[in-house]
Structure 1
Amino acid sequence: MKDLKIAIIGCGNLGLSIVNGLLDTTGFKAQSLSVTKRHPESLFHLEPLGVTVTSDNISASKDADLIVLGVKPYNVPHILKEISPVLSPDKQTIISLATGVTLEDMYKHLPAEMAVFRAMPNIAADIQESITCICGKNGDASVEASIKELFNSIGISIVIEEHLMEAATVLGACGIAYVLRFMRAMTQGGIQIGFDAHTANTIVNQTVKGAAELIIKKGIHPEAAIDKVTTPKGCTIVGLNEMEHHGFSAAMVKGVLASYEKIEK
């Protein structure tokens, strides 16, 4: 990827996270990166680093190997129509970050032989801890590897089938909000049993981080880890059973399904 030129069209918060991840990638040159925004003033701080900042989507796209579309879904057709005259289908790849815009939707405005991908990061990209789900068409192994390397700069990436992209949005993107809501509730419980808000929040934050790292590093199922802390007649199993009695797991599953049904409509 260090030899590739990358353009991020419509560089908002997510695009800026990608920029920061790329600039932290060993061997990547800032001079290989162009970013655009209708009003690019908020991106001018990148220029001293060597990044090209412009409002001209066409000039940014013309020589880029990977073109990342960071615009809202309703703007994707407009952007593709705008830049399509300068695209080289045999040399360039389009990557859309827009929820709900399918590969088929994009090919309506692009040559059929062009490599086109969709990618779904989440807001943890801002600290390089995103999970990014990727799908695409017409990209060979080297193109796919370059795209994975791009998104690995902001966390980790996996390749999935396109029909799962909306589900990936729910689990990976909406899922951040689900976990944060759980953390808020856990903090509130901590306050009720005696902690001040700051201390409760500190304990909850590290507990959630530790739980995730335990599962990742040990490679175990969550239920196996739960078994390690639920002793007979102990306080943990009492708390878990009370939560389940009030529909904790059922509510979580229903929330996931509700978000998915909303996207599918």
Structure 2
Amino acid sequence: MTFVESQITIVGAGNLGTSLVKGLIDSGNYQPSDFTLTRRNTAKLLGLKEKGFAVTANNIKGIEGSNVIFLAVLPQKVDVVLKEISRSINSNQLIISLVSGVKVKDIQFILGDDIPIVRAMPNTAISIRESMTCIATNDKWSARIPEVKEMFELVGETVVINEEQMISATALCACGIAFFLRAIRAASQGGNEIDFHASEALKIAAQTAKGAASLLIANNSHPEDEIDKVTSPKGCTIAGLNEMEHNGFSSSFIKGITVSAKQARGLYSEE
């Protein structure tokens, strides 16, 4: 059996878990019958159940027969879930944890040392196969990284990092989706103020942001290299950039990311 032929359970199929499922289905490598989705309120999964996904509120039942188990619950709830499934899981099942702030050793403390565990931090763009996913584990399970990377490369880009960097990945990669969306919203509001209808401004802002990101990726360039191409002495671009910086654009963005990382670090310990 190859990795893409695995039977998969999503424990805690909320926004991120269902986004992952949608992306994997759209990759063409999986069918609804390959998935079991668990959630306390299964009514929220009714639409997916009607499409052929197995749905249950029972986590123990949900992991039966699965080769791959994604943990997609809140950090504050993960210990309860792990204790619930600890007696039913076996070493032939791979745990892929999407839970922020919960280390491999934390999971091993409850499940035992013989259960393979890899951590992954994607973002909700995984639903359209445009995620940036950071992957990490400890030395014992490093041999499982390639198969996890194979799966996430079906739904976007991946980078393998040290486990110590996973908190930072949460802030920049997972939370980062919201930060960039807020920047696009601000741009669209500016467009609305100067002349455009709201829908026009949002379309223009979103496509412009997509183009800016695509330039960096396609050219493997630094943002300032691309900025230099559209700025001229006494021009309108540099005037706008300077005004943004005078009002703390970059410093606010940086501070938001660092504060987000600090908050993520404490989520697992919160009651």
TM-score by length of 1: 0.91
Alignment check: 8 A CA contact 2:21 2:127 kept = no
Q: Could you say if the C-alpha distance between residues 192 and 146 of structure 1 is closer, same or farther in structure 2, counting changes exceeding 3 Å?
A: same
Verify the 8 A CA contact 1:5 1:64 in the aligned structure 2.
yes
Task: Report the secondary structure of 2:137's partner residue.
Answer: strand
Partner deviation per Cα, 1:97-144 (whole Å, 9 max, x = no partner): 121112121111012132112221222223222211111133353x32
Distance, in Å, in 2 between the alignment partners of 1:238 and 1:48 is: 54
Task: Give the whole-Å Cα distance in 2 for the aligned partners of 1:94 and 1:27.
Answer: 20
Greater relative contact order (Cα 8 A, min sep 6): structure 1 or 2? 2
Paired residues of 1:18 and 1:151 also in contact (CA < 8 A): no
CA drift of 1:163 comes to 0.9
- Cα distance, 1:222 vs. partner? 0.7
Q: What is residue 269 of structure 2 aligned with on the other side?
A: none
The worse-fitting range, judged by mean Cα deviation, of 26-35 and 215-224 is 26-35
CA contact (8 A) 1:170 1:256 kept: yes
Matches within 5 A, 1:1-265: 1-47=3-49, 49-89=51-91, 91-137=92-138, 138-141=140-143, 143-265=144-266
Please give the alpha-carbon distance, in whole angstroms, between the structure 2 residues aligned to 1:63 and 1:130. Answer: 28
Give, in angstroms, the shift of residue 160 of structure 1.
1.0
Q: Is the 8 A contact 1:57 1:83 kept in 2?
A: yes
In structure 2, how many angstroms separate the alpha carbons of the residues matched to 1:10 and 1:254? 31
1:48 Cα deviation from its structure 2 partner: 5.2
Check 1:68–1:235 CA distance in 2 against 1; reply closer, same or farther (3 A cut).
same
8 Å Cα contact 1:31/1:51 also seen in 2: yes
Code of the aligned partner of 1:231:
S
Over 3 Å counting, the alpha-carbon distance change for 1:135 and 1:246 in structure 2 is same
- Distance, in Å, in 2 between the alignment partners of 1:140 and 1:246 is 45
Deviation per CA, 1:129-182: give whole Å up to 9, x if none: 2211111133353x3222223323332222111111111111112222221222
Flag structure 1 segments of 5+ consecutive residues without an equivalent. none
1:214 to partner: Cα distance:
1.1
221-230 or 146-155, which moves further after superposition? 146-155
- The gaps in structure 2 that reach 5 residues or longer are 267-271
User: Are the aligned partners of 1:36 and 1:55 in contact in 2 as well (CA < 8 Å)?
Assistant: yes
TM-score of the superposed pair, with normalisation by structure 2: 0.89
Report the CA distance shift for 1:105/1:119 in structure 2 as closer, same or farther (over 3 A): same
Distance apart, 1:51 and its partner CA: 2.7
The 1:210–1:12 alpha-carbon spacing in structure 2 relative to 1, beyond 3 Å, is same
Amino acid paired to 2:79? P
CA contact (8 A) 1:17 1:154 kept: no
- RMSD over aligned Cα, in angstroms? 1.9
**Alpha-carbon spacing, 1:197–1:24, altered in 2? closer, same or farther (3 Å):** closer
Contact 2:136 2:145 in 1 (8 A): no
SS in 2 for 1:34: strand
Output the CA distance in 2 between the equivalents of 1:103 and 1:45. 33
Deviations 1:1-22 (A, max 9, x none): 2221111112112111111122
Quick one: distance in 2 between partners of 1:180 and 1:203?
Answer: 13
Q: Separation in 2 of the partners of 1:71 and 1:180?
A: 24
CA–CA distance in structure 1, aligned partners of residues 257 and 77 of structure 2: 27
Q: How many percent of aligned residue pairs carry the same amino acid?
A: 44
Is the 1:8–1:36 contact (alpha carbons within 8 Å) kept by the matching residues of 2? yes
